[in-house]
């Protein structure tokens, strides 16, 4: 949809003294505003027009239901598991575990959208398995927007209550990430989730876990029965102990959150399945077809485009494996920093989309717009500023609504 006025307004706050602001954010729980000597947080606010936010929120609701419907169609069909890149070692786990109720396959997820300068909204991908950015969105963004004043509103204030509701149902006894205690971002993320949940949950390092006949224990020998893990499920096909973890889940010794089926939502191959069924006139009603046409990019399992497309692994993360091809089909740019998971998993090929550009004191950046989905509801904007490929080197910038 085309909107004639400028969609985003950039409010520079870099003239304010940074050190005390970083310290205040640290006290709130955002401890990596400066990361390894670099400024991860851009001290500014990008303000979105309210009608664009309303459209983005509605698009998120519709796409969430469309993708949920597609997962239910794919479930138990091994030929489709293979088509969207699900490792075979996980098929039994996905088949044996009951599908969660409609709209709640993942209770903690994040859409990444390209919102262009003219207001066109296109979905790039969905991280339905292990999204980070929760602290930036739920803690830092509302504070930064409030500090900015000038009638700027943050819709992110609902995130905590929705997290309480989600984890009140799932009730994990453990939250885990790799390198807990030393990896600032992942450790801070699970600590914030635990704190916001209000539950008695132990935080542990995935590398300290042991599994014996399906029983999972932490480093102190405590049996874990219900675990939230910032651990990508596709790595069970690669990591030593991954098959044992899948066995623990499929036999019911361990319940994991997000649910095992979140990997079906996570795969970028699912978007190719949606687009393929849209082209064939299958599965979706007229309203859903209009939403797909408006917000989902043409995506395929094979490089059918002559030019102006992107290739990426079905389980690529942080920009890893992304390659941009120009109008002539020539490789224009590829990510050099993230891990290229296309050596392990198949790729998809997607039409390119335009990201809005913002001019800062640090130069021009492309803006990636994230939308958290917690307990099935769109609830939190996450702004990231970077290059044409939004990778590990991108920076956090607060997104508010006018």
The whole-number pLDDT of residue 5 equals: 67
* Local confidence band at 319 (pLDDT 50, 70, 90 cut-offs): low
Residue 4 pLDDT greater than 60, yes or no: no
Calculate what percentage of the chain has a pLDDT beyond 90.
87
Q: Each residue of 122-131: b (16+ CB within 10 Å) or e?
A: bbbbbbbbbb
* Local confidence band at 1 (pLDDT 50, 70, 90 cut-offs): very low
**What is the rounded average pLDDT of the residues 157-171?**
98
Give domain limits for the chain.
8-267+356-401
Angle at 379 between CA 376 and CA 381, to 5 degrees: 130
42-92 pLDDT, tens per residue? 999 999 999 999 999 999 999 999 999 999 999 999 999 999 999 999 999
Cα–Cα nearest to 70, from 299, 286, 283: 283
226-283 pLDDT, tens per residue? 999 999 999 999 999 999 999 999 999 999 999 999 999 999 999 999 999 999 999 9
| Contacting residues for 36 by C-beta, under 8 A, at least 6 apart | none
What Rg do the C-alpha atoms of the chain give, in angstroms?
20
DSSP string, 334-387: E-SSS--GGGTS-EEEEE--PPEEEEETTEEEEEEEEEEEETTEEEEEEEEEES
Q: How many residues can be counted in the chain?
A: 402
274-318 pLDDT, tens per residue? 999 999 999 999 999 999 999 999 999 999 998 899 999 999 877
The torsion angles phi and psi of 237, rounded to 5 degrees, stand at -80, -10
348-378 pLDDT, tens per residue? 999 999 999 999 888 899 999 999 999 999 9
Partnered with residue 223 across adjacent β-strands are 217
pTM: 0.95
The whole-number pLDDT of residue 3 equals: 43
Sheet holding 299-300, edge to edge: 299-300, 347-351, 309-313, 323-325, 331-334
Q: Look up residue 197 and give its two tokens.
A: 């949940």
69, 103 in Cβ contact below 8 A? no
């Amino acid at each position: 949809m085309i909107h004639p006025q400028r969609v985003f307004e950039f409010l520079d706050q870099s003239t304010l003294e940074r050190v005390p602001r970083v310290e205040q954010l640290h006290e709130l729980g955002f401890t990596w505003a400066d990361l390894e000597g670099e400024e991860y947080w851009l001290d500014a606010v990008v303000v979105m027009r309210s009608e664009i936010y309303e459209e983005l929120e509605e698009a998120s609701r519709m796409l969430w239901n469309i993708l949920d419907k597609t997962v239910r169609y794919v479930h138990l069909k091994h030929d489709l598991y293979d088509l969207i890149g699900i490792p075979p070692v996980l098929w039994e786990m996905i088949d044996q575990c009951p599908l969660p109720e409609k709209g709640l396959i993942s209770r903690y997820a994040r859409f990444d959208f390209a919102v262009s300068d003219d207001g066109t909204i296109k979905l790039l991908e969905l991280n339905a398995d292990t999204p980070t950015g929760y602290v930036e969105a739920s803690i830092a963004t509302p504070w930064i927007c409030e500090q900015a004043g000038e009638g700027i509103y943050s819709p992110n204030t609902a995130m905590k209550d929705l997290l309480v509701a989600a984890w009140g149902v799932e009730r994990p006894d453990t939250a885990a990430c790799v390198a807990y205690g030393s990896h600032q971002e992942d450790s801070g993320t699970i600590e914030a989730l635990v704190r916001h949940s209000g539950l008695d949950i132990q935080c542990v390092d995935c590398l300290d876990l042991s599994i014996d006949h399906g029983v999972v224990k932490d480093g102190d020998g405590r049996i874990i029965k219900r675990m939230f893990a910032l651990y990508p499920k596709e790595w069970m096909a690669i990591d030593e102990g991954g098959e044992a973890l899948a066995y623990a889940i499929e036999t019911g010794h361990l319940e994991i959150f997000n649910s095992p089926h979140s990997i079906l939502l996570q795969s970028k191959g699912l978007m190719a399945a949606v687009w393929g069924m849209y082209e064939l006139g299958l599965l979706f009603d007229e309203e859903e077809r209009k939403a797909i046409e408006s917000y989902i990019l043409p995506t395929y399992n094979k490089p059918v485009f002559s030019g102006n497309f992107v290739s990426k692994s079905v389980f690529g993360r942080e920009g890893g494996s992304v390659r941009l091809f120009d109008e002539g089909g020539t490789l224009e740019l590829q990510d050099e920093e993230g891990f290229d998971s296309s050596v392990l998993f198949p790729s998809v090929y997607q039409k390119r989309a335009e990201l809005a550009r913002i001019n800062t004191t640090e130069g021009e950046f492309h803006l990636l717009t994230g939308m958290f989905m917690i307990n099935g509801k769109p609830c939190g904007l996450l702004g990231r500023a970077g290059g044409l490929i939004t990778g590990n080197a991108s920076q956090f910038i607060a997104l508010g609504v006018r």
